[in-house]
Amino acid sequence: MKLQTQGLIIKETNVGENDKLLVILTRDHGILRAFADGARRMKGKNSAATSLFCYGDFSLYKGKDTYKVTDVTPIELFFDLRYNLEALSLAQYFCEIVLKVTPEDFEPADYLRVILNSLHLLLKGNKPIAQIKAVTELRLISLAGFMPNLVNCADCNNMQNKKILFSLADGSLYCADCVNGKEETVVINNTVLAAMRHIVYSPFKQIFSFQIPDKDLKYLSKITEQYVERQSEFHFKTLDFYKSLTKNL
């Protein structure tokens, strides 16, 4: 059976001497794993278009148990990410999130849209990298079914003039009067809360369109990464590598 779809390569693994196994986040068919024969040959017709972060039109053939890539027309290679190690490591982290948190029954177009826009912004360099990170983390984990409840205190439904805490365990807000007994809570201020609400509840075109002070942005980024790790129950080594780079910046 032949299959035609747009997709982004989010993982590549060398197989044998010349081939690759690709993991492709497709617009229409979710996450597919497909072999690309001869992709590692210097002059192989698919070599340039079967690299990590290649977004293109894929022609696939489905055999009994596997898919094979028969042709790729690149739309965007995102090749220049390789010249910025910080951006490259963060892009790899985003792909790992998709691989670890996507449920079996999901809408792939939304995930693909988030990742593609994040990669474009990493290339442009006109948004703080911590902001791209925080938005992508929180929006992806929300799409995966772990959208936090950021409207009001989950117990008393009121937070006026009270200290606000966010539970990494259940994704809910609690005021200071109701937080006793709640697990893994962190204090957040109104600026960080407003940013989280914007990321989660805004139309897609607007999710990156906000500004907050650097100190609050750093804290927002810390909370979103902790929330992703807590909800996915997975420790991301790609995040460790990204953080090891930023320590030296």
| 31 residue type, one letter | I
pLDDT digits (tens, 9 = 90+) for 161-205: 679 999 999 999 999 999 999 999 999 999 999 999 999 999 999
Count of domains forming the chain: 2
pLDDT tens for each residue of 213-222: 999 999 999 9
CA distance 77 to 81: 9
The CATH number of whichever domain residue 30 belongs to comes to 2.40.50.140
Domain of residue 56, residue span: 2-77
Q: Return d(Cα 189, Cα 226) in angstroms, integer.
A: 17
Quick one: 39 and 142 in the same domain? no
CA distance 237 to 243: 10
Q: What is the CATH number of the domain that holds 237?
A: 1.20.1440.120
Tell me the average pLDDT across 24-32.
93
Do residues 239 and 124 both lie within one domain?
yes
Residues 50 and 152 in one domain: no
Question: Are both 69 and 100 inside the same structural domain?
Answer: no
Among 77, 99, 131, the domain boundary falls at 77
Question: Quick one: 18 and 89 in the same domain?
Answer: no
